[in-house]
A and B are shown apart, each in its own frame.
Chain A
Amino acid sequence: MTEFGAAIDLALGHAMVDDPKIVVFGEDTPLLRRELLVRFGPERVRPTPISESAFLGAAVGAALGGLRPVVEVQLVDFLMVGLSALVNEAAKIEAFSGGRWNVPIVVRATCGGGYGDAGQHEQALWGMLAGVPGLAVVVPSTPADAAGLMRASIENDGPVVFLEHKLLSRQWRDAMAGGRRESVTFDVPPDGADGPVLDPPPPVPLGSAIERRLGGDVTLISLGVGVHRCLSASEELGERGVECTVIDVRSVAPLDRAAIETAARRTGRVVAVDEDYTRGGLSGEIAAVVAEAGISARFARVTTEDTIPYARHLEDATLPNVDRIVSAVESLLD
């Protein structure tokens, strides 16, 4: 069994052996990625100042110059400080250069909530990033996918935002949530936190969804921690005779439209379960995919409506949870 965060570093380590042009940098990277630092040396694994706009912008330039940077931003919330480098530079250059130049960077960041840190440190934000043409955004839900998607992200010739959920990664759970306190508990999905990973990990192609459960009544479409919440809800619904398909999209952009269409057509009922904000994001996009394919299906979504509050009980009610998923499914049955 491999731990989620270790799976990512495993893939990164293999990629760095294969391609000396890969460099890794970010705030506190020398200690956070100390095994990679000791294995590959300080030239390839380096610290940055707290200067997100500069070091993300520098990653773009370094990629144009021939390197393949993997940049670590501790939280996706902090990525907002350096967004121009991604949205206005990295995402544009392949198109603007008429396809003659591309920007192979991976921005690795944590995301997600469920440990009481409030909405400036717990956002998902993958929807707004995925809305920009030229940016790929991936959100793994298992260690195997975390490794496989990291491998594919590094091999991709365009910019990829790779998001690891803090509830799944032990290192981040310990750091951000004080997870080693015995006085606190978090709803950590066991199959997301630890799982089998092949060594070396085979790449998981960007834009390929996977079916986690097959059932004929309702299709649940999710990613990251949401997938595990959907699986728990499906268990509960299964006991009442309601059979769910669970699709893990794994990648918000590119989005596997075919997988969504196939499942929606089969069940005629679709529930999007998205830890990101309701509006302008993945859940609406899923509805659009279904509608554009001419499928007549009933649709509901379980998302984050508001700013994520600090208090644990308020946070629990704000983030998608099993109860809300079950109610959403029930609302489509009658």
Chain B
Amino acid sequence: MKAPVPALELFHQMVRMRRFEEALSELWHQGRISGELHLGIGEEGIVAGVLDHLIEGDALALDHRPTPALVGRGTDLSLLALEMVGAETGLCRGHGGHMHLFDPERLAASSGIVGAAGPMACGFALSHQRLRPGRIAVAFSGESAINQGMMLESLNLAAVWELPVLFVVKDNGWAITTRSAEMTGGTLRKRAEGFGIAYTKVRGADVGAVWRAVGPMIDDLRRGRGPAMLHATCHRPSGHFEHDPLIRMVTSPREFAAESGPLTRSLADGSGGRIRDRIGGMRRVISTAAGMRVHLSKRRGDPVTRLEQTLDATAVARVRAAVEKEILSTLAEVGSP
């Protein structure tokens, strides 16, 4: 028997994640949040679709975009927001910040080291095998993290130890300014299958599809049938982190024009490579810039609006009003500078 997709609940969680991160972006621009703030705006379909299947005792190993998963897992929003502004009363007493969020009650740990979620999830899963049978660990990572040695080693470790790890790969196609496909040999499917790991690919913009795909995978994990990989595509319209200067350089016509002087000088510089090499270099810069510009201007593939269109308008309004209230009261906790 197939359970129906809990669409309204998934919508509610996605809107909470989205609105909370939009509020964080504002706080960042106000200067109240420091450092490189990586948001998961656009990834909510993947995160909500997976989290809905988790039960108490399951563990989360998170990457440099940990916030949506913690929001969805039930970490108190005020504790999260206070942490982001470095308050003593924050989730980690102001010591961790947005890339190093830890919630021991929910067995949720994050790391800004690309690939670190793999081994972390394997360790959580090992502790489950002995201490919490039937529980699973989820590793969230980007698609480029799968080229990290420790991540590839984790796939093998999880396979040979038959660990209940779900590797969730959130694939936006890019790693900062690098097209992931250009730096990735073969396919994720073949990699997973090469390790004997069950693999499913799904469109992350469709939270219902994620939810339906993950259900049976997690059932198998709980039964001890070894690790699995969920490869979910997504689109993150705001790029790598808030106001990334490299991304702004290629997407802002004014800033890109400012580059043309130095780049033209480099191209004309006969002391450098042969002209063929220099043109090749210029071509690469331009194609990267153009590729990124097209990528970021894409407005399709938003999991929130996509689901919203299928829902009853009054139900949507009710959810949105409830979330606005929650966000407002959270921001009130954070106060003004």
Tell me the A residues contacting B by CB distance below 8 Å.
13, 16-17, 27-28, 30-32, 34-45, 47-54, 77-78, 81, 115-118, 120-121, 171, 174-178, 180-184, 307, 309-314
The 7 A-B pairs at the shortest CB distance, nearest first, are namely A41-B277, A116-B34, A183-B31, A311-B86, A310-B97, A39-B272, A311-B94
Which candidate, B198-206, B278-286, B311-319, is the interface stretch facing chain A? B278-286
B147 adjacent to A310 (CB under 8 Å): no
B243 adjacent to A28 (CB under 8 Å): no
Contacting residue for B31 out of A28, A44, A184, CB 8 A? A184
B277 adjacent to A40 (CB under 8 Å): yes
B86 adjacent to A310 (CB under 8 Å): yes
A51 adjacent to B281 (CB under 8 Å): no
A37 adjacent to B95 (CB under 8 Å): no
Q: A residues within 8 A CB of B282?
A: 38
Which candidate, B52-60, B173-181, B215-223, is the interface stretch facing chain A? B173-181
A118 adjacent to B175 (CB under 8 Å): no
Contacting residue for A310 out of B35, B149, B244, B249, CB 8 A? B35
Interface bin, chain B: 35 or more
Residue of chain A at shortest CB distance from B98: A310
Interface CB pairs A-B, < 8 A, 25 = A13-B272, A28-B176, A28-B178, A31-B249, A34-B259, A39-B266, A40-B278, A42-B281, A50-B148, A50-B183, A51-B147, A53-B149, A115-B34, A116-B34, A118-B96, A120-B111, A120-B113, A177-B35, A178-B28, A178-B34, A178-B242, A310-B86, A310-B100, A311-B94, A311-B97
A32 adjacent to B266 (CB under 8 Å): no
A81 adjacent to B281 (CB under 8 Å): no
Given A41-B278, A310-B100, A313-B86, CB of A81 within 8 Å of CB of B113: yes
Residue of chain A at shortest CB distance from B83: A310
A38 adjacent to B281 (CB under 8 Å): yes
Q: 12 additional contacts, CB 8 Å, given A28-B175, A45-B281, A307-B95? A: A13-B272, A30-B285, A36-B266, A37-B285, A38-B281, A49-B184, A174-B245, A175-B244, A176-B36, A181-B243, A184-B31, A184-B34
Contacting residue for A38 out of B83, B96, B183, B285, CB 8 A? B285
A42 adjacent to B175 (CB under 8 Å): no
B182 lies within 8 A of chain A by Cβ: yes
Residue of chain A at shortest CB distance from B84: A310
CA distance A183 to B25 in the complex (A): 13
B250 lies within 8 A of chain A by Cβ: yes
Q: A residues within 8 A CB of B96?
A: 118, 310
A40 adjacent to B86 (CB under 8 Å): no
Q: B residues within 8 A CB of A115?
A: 34-35
Please give the distance in Å from A326's CB to the nearest CB on chain B. Answer: 26
Residue of chain A at shortest CB distance from B249: A31
CA distance A17 to B269 in the complex (A): 11
A310 adjacent to B95 (CB under 8 Å): yes
B30 lies within 8 A of chain A by Cβ: yes
B86 adjacent to A120 (CB under 8 Å): no
Contacting residue for A31 out of B99, B242, B246, B272, CB 8 A? B246
Residue of chain B at shortest CB distance from A311: B86
B246 adjacent to A175 (CB under 8 Å): yes
Please give the distance in Å from B206's CB to the nearest CB on chain A. Answer: 27
Q: B residues within 8 A CB of A309?
A: 94-95
Q: B residues within 8 A CB of A13?
A: 272
B262 adjacent to A50 (CB under 8 Å): no
Please give the distance in Å from A327's CB to the nearest CB on chain B. Answer: 24
Q: Which has the most chain B C-beta neighbours within 10 Å: A17, A171, A307, A310?
A: A310
Residue of chain B at shortest CB distance from A113: B35
Given A39-B281, A42-B277, A115-B34, CB of A31 within 8 Å of CB of B177: yes
Q: A residues within 8 A CB of B112?
A: 120-121
B288 lies within 8 A of chain A by Cβ: yes
Q: A residues within 8 A CB of B272?
A: 13, 16-17, 39-41
What is the 8 Å Cβ interface bit string for chain B, positions 253-276, against chain A (1 contact, 0 not)? Answer: 000000100110111010111101
